[in-house]
Amino acid sequence: MTKRILCGIATMALLFAGSVVQAQQVTGKITLKQAVETALANNLAVKQSELLMQTAAVNLNQSKGNILPNIGGNINHFANQGRNIDPSSNGYVNEKNTTANYSFTGNVTLFNGFRLMNALKQNQYAAEASKMEWQQSKDRLMVDVMLDFLTVLNNQDLLEQARKQVEVSKNQVDRLDLMNKDGAIKPSDLSDLKGQYATDQLSLINAKNTLEASKVILVQLMNVPYDKDLMAEQLGADQFDLNYSATPDSIYESALHQLAIIKGYELRSKSYEKEVSAAKGNLYPSIGLGAGYATNYSSTAKDQLNNKISYSTQLKNNYGTYFGAGINIPILNNFRYRNQVRLAKIDWKNAQFIEQTSKIQLKQNVERDYFNMTAAIERYKTLTEQVAAYIESFRAAEIRFNDGVGTSVDYIIAKNNLDRAKSNLIIARYDYLLRTKILDYYQSKPLW
C-alpha cells in the first residue's frame, strides 16, 4: 500500500536504532490513540528531536546573557615563606607573611555592529524552528503509526474473510463427502471441492502470516516487544466518510499555514538570515565600557611607627578604582570575518532553497494524494457493486450445485469470483481511508 512510501525509511531506521527507554509490554486489543501515545513515549527519533529543541533553548538563553554586562570578583589569599614581594611596600622581604587581594570588575559592550542583537534574533528563530521540527517528528510518527495501524486492520479483515472462505469450502467438502459415500455424486466433484478447500486453507495461512508481519512493523514503531495476541481495535463507522469535501487548493493552503515542517523551514531561513547580519557585525568597530575596584592586605604591613596595620585599615587605605572606555577596530584579520559573512550567506541561500523546494513538493504531494484519494473512492464504489453482483451469482451457483444441476467448476468459479471481490473490497476500503488520513494530516486535522 502507499503507506510503505510514507514510512518505509522510518521503519527501517527503527529496526536498527534500539531503545532508549525501558519498553513496556503492550498486549490485547489496542486503539489507534494508544498506539500513537505509546510510540510517542518510546520513539528514539522523537526523543532526540526534543533534546535538540532543549539545546536550542539553552543557546537562546546564552544569547540573551551575552547582551548583559560581564561582572565578576576575585579573592586571593597567599601564605608566603622566604623571599617574596610585600604588597604593602612593593619591596622584597624574607620572612613568613600572609597576603590577600580583592577585586571587583565589570564591563559591557555598547556597540559591536549589532552582532549580539542579531545573534539573539538568530537563536530566537532557531529555537522556534526546533520546536516545529520536534512537532514534525511527532506528527510524522503519528502518521506512520496510523498507516501501519490501518494496515493491521486491513489484514485482520482479510484474515477473517479467509476464515469464512475456508468455512464455506469445508461445509461443502463435508456435504459432498457424505454424498460420495452414498454414490450420489461424481467423485470428481468431491476432488474439485477438496482442491478448493486446500486453496482456501493456503490463503488462510498466508493471511495469518501477512497479519503477523504487519503487527511486527507496528510494534517496532511503538518500540515495544512483539506480542502475538496484539490486535488493532476497529475504527468507528464515522471514520469511513465517503464524501471528502476538501479541494486540493484548500488542502494546500491549510498545509502551508499549519504544517510544522513548513513553519520549521521558514523559521530556519529567517535564522540564517540573521546569522548573516550577525557575521557582518564583526566588520564594524566595537565599543565597550569597563570599571573595577581592587584592594589588598599584607600581614607584614607596618606604619611609620613600626606598628602593625590592621586588616580593615589596609583594605580601606589600599583600594583603587578605575573606569574606562575602549574601542576595537578590525583592520586585518586574515579575511576571517569576511569569509564568515560569505559562509553565512551560503547557509541562508541553502535554507531559502530548502524552504521553496519544500513548498513546491508539498503542493505536488497534495495534488498526487488527492488524485489517489479520488481514484480510491471510485475503485471502492465499483467494487461494492461488484461484490453485490457476485453475491447473487454465487447464491444462484450454490443453489444449482446443491440441487445437482450445476457443475463443481461453475460453483468454484462463482465462489472464487466472490471471494476475490470481497478481498479487493476490504483492501479498497482501507486504501481509501488511508488516503483520506494523509489529506487530514496535511490540514492538521485529528487523525482519530
Residues 344 and 385: their CA atoms lie apart, in Å, by: 61
Q: pTM for this structure?
A: 0.79
DSSP helix/strand/coil, 101:
strand
Does 57 lie in the same domain as 135? yes
Instruction: Answer yes or no: do 10 and 24 share one domain.
Output: yes
Number of domains in the chain: 2
Q: Which of 272, 294, 329 is the last residue of a domain?
A: 329
Contact 44, 17 (CB under 8 A): yes
**353 domain residue, yes or no:** yes
Q: Clarify whether residues 64 and 198 are in a common domain.
A: yes
Q: Are residues 311 and 416 located together in one domain of the fold?
A: no
| 93 contacts 302 by C-beta, under 8 angstroms | no
Same domain, 229 and 276: yes
Least confident piece of the model among 19-28, 50-59, 95-104, 390-399: 19-28
What long-range pairs does 416-420 form, CB within 8 A, spacing at least 24? 416/196, 417/390, 417/393, 418/387, 418/390, 418/391, 418/393, 418/394, 419/161, 419/165, 419/200
The pLDDT of residue 200? 94
Query: Do residues 346 and 395 make contact, with C-beta atoms less than 8 angstroms apart?
Result: no
245's grid cell: 469535501
Look at residue 384 and tell me if it is in a domain.
yes
pLDDT, position 237: 63
R_g (Cα) of the chain, nearest Å:
39
Give the C-alpha separation, 99 to 337, whole Å: 45
Distance CA 269, CA 358 (A): 12
- The reported pLDDT for the residue numbered 445 is 83
**Do 199 and 319 belong together in one domain?**
no
Which of 274, 297, 329 is the endpoint of a domain? 329
Are residues 219 and 266 located together in one domain of the fold? yes
Residue 448 lies in a domain: no
Residues 269, 150: Cα–Cα separation, whole Å: 36
- The backbone torsions φ and ψ at residue 91, rounded to the nearest 5 degrees and listed phi first, read -110, 165
Q: Which residues is 302 bridged to in the sheet?
A: 308
Residues 160 and 265 reside in one and the same domain: yes
Domain of residue 354, CATH code: 1.20.1600.10
Are 133 and 53 in contact, with CB atoms under 8 Å apart? Answer: yes
With respect to residue 447, please indicate whether it lies within any of the assigned structural domains: no
> Residue 21 pLDDT more than 70?
no
Residues 200 and 76 in one domain: no
CB 337 within 8 A of CB 258: no
Q: Give residue 292's domain range.
A: 72-111+286-329
Asked if residues 38 and 142 have their Cβ atoms less than 8 Å apart, the reply is no
Confidence of residue 24 (pLDDT cuts 50, 70, 90): low
**446 has pLDDT over 80:** no
Choosing from 314, 329, 344, the residue where a domain stops is 329
- Strand 231-232 and strand 83-86: the pairing is unpaired
Q: How confident is the model at residue 18 (pLDDT cuts 50, 70, 90)?
A: very low
Are 395 and 291 contained in the same domain? Answer: no
Place of cell 454414490: 183
Residue 238 has pLDDT above 70, yes or no: no
CA distance 262 to 361: 11
Quote the Cα angle for 384-390-392, to 5°. Answer: 110
Is the same domain home to 338 and 369?
yes
Angle between helices 260-281 and 115-181 (to 10 degrees): 160
In this structure, are 79 and 53 located in the same domain? Answer: no
Residue 351 falls within a domain, yes or no? yes
